[in-house]
Amino acid sequence: MSFRGIMTYYRTIRLADTDAAGVVYFAAALSICHEAYEASLEQSYINMRTFFSDPNVAIPIVYGEIKFFAPLYSGDQLEINLFPKQLTDSEFEIKYELVKVAPNAEKVALAQTRHVCIHPNPRRRSPLPDLMVQWLDHCATPEAVDI
Amino acid sequence: MSFRGIMTYYRTIRLADTDAAGVVYFAAALSICHEAYEASLEQSYINMRTFFSDPNVAIPIVYGEIKFFAPLYSGDQLEINLFPKQLTDSEFEIKYELVKVAPNAEKVALAQTRHVCIHPNPRRRSPLPDLMVQWLDHCATPEAVDI
Amino acid sequence: MSFRGIMTYYRTIRLADTDAAGVVYFAAALSICHEAYEASLEQSYINMRTFFSDPNVAIPIVYGEIKFFAPLYSGDQLEINLFPKQLTDSEFEIKYELVKVAPNAEKVALAQTRHVCIHPNPRRRSPLPDLMVQWLDHCATPEAVDI
Amino acid sequence: MSFRGIMTYYRTIRLADTDAAGVVYFAAALSICHEAYEASLEQSYINMRTFFSDPNVAIPIVYGEIKFFAPLYSGDQLEINLFPKQLTDSEFEIKYELVKVAPNAEKVALAQTRHVCIHPNPRRRSPLPDLMVQWLDHCATPEAVDI
């Protein structure tokens, strides 16, 4: 299914992601989820540089969470699956499934972020730009995924 | 109340905490919460170096979440209040209230982490070490705080 | 000497600064130096939020280096001494001495950054703003420090 | 030349790499260089998890530097070329050339790290492990590269 090709992000755990406890620092895993979101936007031809510095539109994260089932170590290869979903005309959420690829596929974490479109100055809610709505439409999964 | 003195952590937002959108990167705020947790453990004379590298005991974070009410900028001064609570003999949670100090006190975010004590090799649940139980007892708030 | 009070920054090593090798991740130590620079600017009443997002003036780092003499661990308490020096009307450098406070004062690293003032759009060299020149004057050390 | 295939690392700049000044945070660029080093070791079948947590051998970075020629923005695609070189039986350096791929190939930064092999407890110099020497041999460039 072409969906997988578009919405899956591959990432190897790097030393900078880990801490002295020997495993991935918990907040770094959320950062990896955000990378997956950025990679997905790029595949829809959204320019990251202008997107994140537009003076008229900002889409800050208002909520983030992550749940771990297993530790992650330097060198671990991850597959991150994204499940974005528009909630209102100004808001969407993304669910993330983090799967360790080897030695056996193992779901190691689930995460979620919620994003609200605003006009930054003064800060007030604003409809999502067309490109984001197109991206959300493009990513819509045919059925609910229970993560 | 002596509680405040022990459980409040002060932190100024630094450039490294921010991103090109001009505000604090969402995952960096969770990292700041973890700093507050570490500072609190230190005040109970728990040695951070040995605590995080003990081969027999690890207390990984199994869950983290954060909810933002307002953006944070470079130079913003934060007060982070911690509300730790033991859940079982091997598990505890911490709630965090992030308050921007100036110009007016403003609650900018709420966060939560859940921590499970394990024996790392092989990984299995293990009772929290005495020092952690003492820290949790010491931090126990007289009444539930609704955050 | 009042100099010390102004130009010394205190920082405890946090878990997020470390990596799975058990010590501070090398690039994180440079980030700690930058924090010290920011703290110093703040003490000269330079507003960090506007300073780092001014559309007409930017002072990017064009060079950074760090040399380690000893490892740093979670919980280590550092004193960072800054030695800023103006080089031209558009350029300055800062030297940093990182000293581990306990159990004995021990110089653990030396670092350096070089900063060039530019007009961002189009990018061209530009004289340092008055506030920065004042900060540099204020920080000027009476004699050369060999670091 | 097959060399390029082995020693070149591709990396897109992510939001987490940037700061409120709108460009890559200087220390983050050094972190990206380290990722390239890790990716290169992996291609020589060096296991990252055990490599960074070996109780008998550590190869800390004792020196790092970076020089920027141009700013880097979210979404920029980088090619990082590595030039490792053994210096003594316990020490090596790596030079890094950071090239922005589009719109035109542009050298944006040069970096360098120096690594010393030690036995961690007590910390004393120790010969590089065979696998590292093989990696260094494998990477040796036929002629000096002036970076």
B89 inside domain: yes
CA distance D80 to chain C (A): 17
Indicate whether D129 belongs to any domain: yes
Q: Is C147 on the interface with A (CB under 8 A)?
A: no
d(CA A83, CA A9): 12
Confidence of residue C139 (pLDDT cuts 50, 70, 90): confident
The answer on pLDDT for A2 being more than 70 is no
Minimum Cα–Cα distance from C12: chain B residue: B39
pLDDT at residue number A141: 64
Query: Is residue B48 included in any domain, yes or no?
Result: yes
CB D13, CB D24: distance < 8 Å: yes
Residue B146 lies in a domain: no
Exposed (0-12), middle (13-18) or buried (19+): which is B42, by Cβ within 10 Å? middle
Active site residues of D: 19
- Residue B146 — very low, low, confident or very high, per pLDDT cuts 50/70/90? low
Task: Tell me the nearest-neighbour CA distance from B1 into chain A, angstroms.
Answer: 31
Q: What is the pLDDT of residues B96-107, one digit of tens each?
A: 999 999 888 999
The phi and psi torsions of D102 (rounded to 5 degrees) equal: -125, 160
- What is the overall mean pLDDT for chain D? 90
- How many angstroms separate the first and last alpha carbons of chain D? 20
Beta-ladder partners of A112: A65, A95
Which chain A residues are within 8 Å of B22, Cβ to Cβ? 53
Give how far Cα B90 sits from Cα of A57, B59, B83, B136, Å: 45, 9, 17, 12
**Which residue in chain D is spatially nearest to C27 when comparing CA positions?**
D27
Q: Would D81 be classed as within a structural domain? A: yes
Q: Does the structure show a pLDDT above 80 at B139?
A: yes
Tokens representing D40 are 């290169």
pLDDT greater than 60 at residue D147: no
| Cβ pair A59, A94 in contact under 8 A | no
Number of compact structural domains in chain D: 1
Q: With an 8 Å Cβ cutoff, are D26 and C53 in contact? A: no
Task: With a cut of 80, say whether residue C107 has pLDDT above it.
Answer: yes
The one-character DSSP state at B121 is T
Helices C26-43 & C130-139, crossing angle to 10 degrees? 100
D26 contacts in C (CB within 8 Å)?
Answer: 30, 34, 60-61, 64, 113
Q: Looking at beta carbons, which residues of chain A come within 8 Å of D73?
A: 48-49
pLDDT at B77: 97
Interface of D with A in 37-66 (CB under 8 A): 38-39, 42, 47-49, 51-53
In this predicted structure, the answer to whether residue B15 has a pLDDT above a threshold of 90 is: yes
Across D63-99, b (16+ Cβ under 10 Å) vs e yields bbbbbbeebbbbbbebbbbbbbebeeebbbebbbbbe
Q: State the amino acid at position D143 in one-letter form.
A: E
Residues 6 or more apart in contact with residue A34 via CB below 8 angstroms: A61, A113, B26, B27, D14, D15, D16
Q: Would you place residue A142 in the very low, low, confident or very high pLDDT band (cuts 50, 70, 90)?
A: low
Residue of A nearest to D42 (CA): A75
* pLDDT at position D103: 86
In the predicted structure, residue B116 carries a pLDDT above the cut 90 = yes
Q: What is the C-alpha end-to-end distance of chain C, expressed in Å?
A: 20
Q: What is the pLDDT of residues D92-140, one digit of tens each?
A: 999 999 999 988 899 999 999 999 999 988 889 999 999 999 999 988 7
**pLDDT in the model for residue D31:** 98
For the domain that residue B24 is a member of, what is the CATH number?
Answer: 3.10.129.10
Mean pLDDT across A19-34: 97
Is the CB of residue B73 less than 8 Å away from at least one CB of chain C? yes
- Reported as a pLDDT band with limits 50, 70 and 90, residue A4 is very low
CA B104/CA D28 separation, integer angstroms: 33
CA dihedral B102, B104, B109, B111 (to 10 degrees): 80
- Give the helix/strand (H/E) hosting C145: none
Secondary element (H or E) of residue D87: strand D77-88
* Measured distance CA(C58)–CA(D28) in Å, rounded: 18
Q: Is residue B145 a part of any domain in this protein? A: no
Q: Which of A24-33, C46-55, C130-139 has the highest mean pLDDT?
A: A24-33
Distance of CA A123 to the CA centre of its chain: 23
Q: Given D14, D31, D35, which is nearest A38 (Cβ)?
A: D14
D20 interfaces chain B, CB cutoff of 8 Å: yes
Domain assignment present for D59? yes
Q: Is D88 on the interface with A (CB under 8 A)?
A: no
Answer whether B25 touches C (CB < 8 Å). no
Whether the pLDDT of residue B20 is over 70: the answer is: yes
Residues 6 or more apart in contact with residue A90 via CB below 8 angstroms: A116, A117, A118, A125, A126, A127, A128
Q: Which of B132, B127, B95 is nearest to B114 (CA)?
A: B95
How far is the C-alpha of A21 from the C-alpha of B49, rounded, in Å? 10
Q: What is the pTM of this model?
A: 0.93
Q: What is the pLDDT of residues A42-87, one digit of tens each?
A: 988 899 999 888 888 999 999 999 999 999 999 999 999 999 999 9
**Which has the closest alpha carbon to C131: C50, C32, C30?**
C50
Chains touching C, CB cut-off 8 Å, 3+ pairs: A, B, D
D69-97 mean pLDDT: 96
Tokens encoding A97: 């499934």
Structure tokens given for A125: 């809610």
Average pLDDT over residues C67-77: 97
* Mean pLDDT (whole number) for A93-119: 96
Per-residue pLDDT at D44: 87
Which of A19, A54, A89, A137 is an active site residue?
A: A19
Chain B partners (3+ C-beta pairs within 8 A): A, C, D
B45, B46, B54, B74: which to substitute to probe chain C, counting the most C Cβ within 10 Å?
B74
Q: Choose the catalytic residue: B19, B54, B89, B137.
A: B19
Question: Which pLDDT tens digit goes with each residue over B41-86?
Answer: 998 889 999 988 888 899 999 999 999 999 999 999 999 999 999 9
DSSP D121: T
What mean pLDDT is predicted for residues C134-140?
88
Using CB atoms, pick whichever of A14, A34, A48 lies closest to residue D75: A48
With contacts defined as CB-CB under 8 Å, which chain B residues touch D73? 20
Provide the pLDDT for residue C144. Answer: 47
From B12's Cα to the closest Cα of chain C, the distance in A is: 9
Confidence of residue C142 (pLDDT cuts 50, 70, 90): low
Secondary structure string (H, E, C) spanning A59-117: CCEEEEEEEECCCCCCCCEEEEEEEEEEEECCEEEEEEEEEECCCCCEEEEEEEEEEEC
Is residue D145 domain-resident? no
Task: Domain of residue C43: give its range.
Answer: 2-139
Q: What tokens does C111 get? A: 């670092």
